[in-house]
Amino acid sequence: MPEIKLVDVAMIYPFQKVSGIFNRKQQELILQQQKKMPYTSNEGVIALQHFNATISDGEFVAVLGPSGSGKSTLLRVIAGLERPVAGDLYFDDRDYKFVPAAERDCAMVFQNFSLYPNQTVYKNISFPLEVKHVPREEIQPEVRKIAELLNLDTKLDRMPQDLSGGEKQRVAIARALIKKPAVLLLDEPFSNLDPLMRARLRTQLKELHQVYKTTFIYVTHDQYDALSLADRIIILKDGILQMDDTTANVYNYPVNRFCAEFVGSPAMNFFEDIPVSKTGTITILGHNYQLSKAQMKKIRKDDTVDVGIRGYDIAISNNGYPAKVEYTEVIESDLVIHVIADEKKLTVVEKAADGDSLKYFRDQDIHLNIDTDRLHVFDQDGSRL
Amino acid sequence: MASNKNKIVMMKGEKSFHYIALIIMTLFMLFCIVPLILMCVVSFSSENSLLHGYRFIPDEWSLDAYAFMWAKRATISRAYGLTILVTAVGTFLSLVMTSLFAYPLSRKDFKPRNTIAFILFFTMLFNGGMTASYIVWTRLFHIKDTLWAYLLPGSLMNGMNVMLVRNYFNANIPYSIVEAARIDGANDWTIYSKIMVPLSKPIMTTIGLFSALGYWNNWSAGLYYINNPKLYTIQVYLKKLMDSIQFLKTTDLQDEAVLLAQRNLPTESARMAVAIIALIPILLIYPFVQGELIKGMVVGGVKG
């Protein structure tokens, strides 16, 4: 199984052409929208730029980013559905830039399932082997085996339109895995499913990764999927790589403000334009934090900093910085308390227990304490100090 | 009471719109069905009763026309067989050619698709004309007095049908299915034959029926390129029969036409009988393909 290496990859999608008599206004509107995208060139919208990454054999990598950040483009480049306008793509040091999709040892699971509607579940799963002209007697046990693994053994004679969303996606996963690909690419595979089905399939996917030991590249805008499944997370924004690190590091040491805000739920609390004293001290909610020498070196004189802290690292206690409760939410096992301190809205998270929703009430006076070791300090460009 | 509850309440304007639509559609239906009934009645009328024009209730009913057909059964059945052969082969070839042309035009990764679509569209509007086509087909391809004369000129591939199929591929088959197949290792031929064509049944039925009708009713190819009576299709035979009757009806031979009628040789009723016989297969096939045909016409027209 290969190691995938992307070197300085760039991808540009040409601008929409305005032509014809009909729908001209609509076409012009789309063109205007495209030209307003964060990165454009004369040729079109830059979907991916200067992208460098190495994905090791058997890794489970999640590609995370908001809509339009270039995640799916990256996957399509690896799959061979798009050819990058610049840069190189290597599978085990072999240049794969011009290798057609059919010849790459990749399989892909699409967001909209993309099953063949005219074929039964069995035929859908066996399709990749059939096109490889694998003998029928070899295909059958393979299909049965993978169908059993994905609880599809009783559905093999059904047509895709007779299946539920979760079953359809399981068929798509089975079809992808049957050819034992070196790389399995998953393009937001669970975004069309209900939460219960997502949770079930998430577990199943993790198990499949352990069984097949194939490289999984999972594109999602759902950080929960990424954090719970992946060994490593690649974060993209506007086609530019923001961070490429382990799940724990992405959560605990975000390299810039975007990553800090994007990863974690509820989102990180931010204090903007905090002045730094001559001695390198900053004050957040009445708590002092001393910047290290290395951090001090990175900021210019009279610069302010942005400071972030997760809701989990703020505690409500009898003494501390005064704040008022706005409202509370119970999200799974967490109690999320929305508070206002110094006219600034913050979220504080506690472990939820029975009756917790009544523990705090609107306009209640509380006091906040923060764990200063868990502060994230960013300069004015948004980079971590 | 229950039925009243479920009744759809219509506004005043809506009601009158429904009535007007009903009247217009009834009129159109009559325009289509009345000639068919007349054709059927005439084929069962005696020749004498047709001397003063066609009537819905003839003075005298007769099976002479069908008896005449029966007498000519060798010629007619050969023409019938040839028509079926030409229609079946022609429709199959036409479907294959049309879908094979439409498939690359529907592929986003096929760069010259717009240029080719333009050329296709251009030839739909402008062509070399009858003389040039005739010279090309007869001098270059030597199709005169061969069955190719029915199959190749004009009907084999229609630009409009290609556009319809391309639009169907674009609008109704998600491109991600094609991409999934590519990643699964399928080549273009597999994608075309195992995915695109089976998923395009409605549009294939529609253009198949249009094409079959075109081949079935094609008399002009026979007129231009066929001299050998053994290669007459039913429509060519009908056309020749009509021409012969027309010839007999010319002024100089008017008396002879009356004479023919008096001798009870069917002419007018015979051509209607041939037309009825020619119509039967289409009438038989239509109910089976009607559903797919309507689907195909609706979706094929949607721009992808």
Q: What is the pLDDT of residues A155-188, one digit of tens each?
A: 999 999 999 988 999 999 999 999 899 999 999 9
Domain boundaries along the sequence of chain B: 73-300
Chain-centre distance of CA B198, in angstroms?
A: 23
Chain B contacts of A115, Cβ < 8 Å?
177
- Residue B228 has, within 13 A of its CA and on its CB side, a CA count of 10
B156 CB-near residues (< 8 Å, 6+ apart): B90, B93, B94, B97
Name the residue in chain B with its Cα closest to that of A126. B184
Is residue B255 within 8 angstroms of chain A, CB to CB? Answer: no
Picking from B193, B205, B196, the residue whose alpha carbon sits closest to that of residue B295 is B205
Percent residues over pLDDT 70 in chain B: 87
pLDDT of the residue at B297: 60
Q: What is the pLDDT of residues A251-310, one digit of tens each?
A: 999 999 999 999 988 999 999 999 998 888 999 998 899 988 888 888 887 788 999 999
Mean pLDDT of A318-326: 90
CA distance B87 to chain A (A): 28
Domain B73-300, CATH: 1.10.3720.10
Q: Going from the N-terminus, what domains does chain A have, and what CATH number goes with each?
A: 4-105+181-257 (3.40.50.300), 266-378 (2.40.50.140)
* Pair of tokens at residue A270: 């931010």
Is residue B187 within 8 angstroms of chain A, CB to CB? Answer: yes
Nearest to A128 among B176, B177, B184 (CB): B184
Is residue B186 within 8 angstroms of chain A, CB to CB? Answer: yes
* Alpha helices (H) along B107-158: 113-125, 129-135, 148-151
Percent helix, percent strand, percent coil in chain B, to nearest 5: 75, 0, 25
pLDDT of the residue at B301: 44
Question: Predicted ipTM?
Answer: 0.83
Mean pLDDT of B180-196: 93
* Alpha helices (H) along chain A: 24-35, 71-79, 121-131, 136-149, 165-177, 195-212, 223-229, 247-252, 257-262, 293-298
Mutating which of A131, A139, A188, A192 best tests the B interface, going by the most B Cβ atoms within 10 A?
A131
* Mean pLDDT, chain B, whole residue set: 84
Model confidence at B238, pLDDT cuts 50, 70, 90, reads confident
Give the H/E segment covering residue A235. strand A232-237
CA distance A234 to chain B (A): 23
* Pair of tokens at residue A63: 């590609």
Q: Distance (Å, rounded) from C-alpha B273 to C-alpha A383?
A: 89
SS3 category, A302: coil
Chain A from 82 to 141: CB within 8 A of any B CB: 100-102, 104, 106-108, 110, 112, 114-118, 127-128, 131-132
Is residue A26 within 8 angstroms of chain B, CB to CB? Answer: no
Name the residue in chain A with its Cα closest to that of B177. A114
Q: What is the pLDDT of residues A4-60, one digit of tens each?
A: 999 999 999 988 888 888 888 888 998 888 888 888 888 889 999 999 999 999 999
Q: What is the pLDDT of residues A234-243, one digit of tens each?
A: 999 999 999 9
SS3 category, A303: coil
Is residue B229 within 8 angstroms of chain A, CB to CB? Answer: no
Q: How far is CA B35 from CA A295, B32, B180, B237, in A?
A: 94, 6, 52, 21
pLDDT of the residue at B85: 93
Q: Distance (Å, rounded) from C-alpha B8 to C-alpha B17?
A: 15
Q: What is the pLDDT of residues B39-55, one digit of tens each?
A: 999 999 988 888 888 88
Chain A contacts of B181, Cβ < 8 Å?
116, 127, 131
Q: How far is CA A233 from CA A61, A79, A259, B65, in A?
A: 6, 19, 11, 84
Model confidence at B284, pLDDT cuts 50, 70, 90, reads confident
Model confidence at B261, pLDDT cuts 50, 70, 90, reads low
Contact B181 A101 (CB under 8 A): no
CA distance B157 to chain A (A): 25
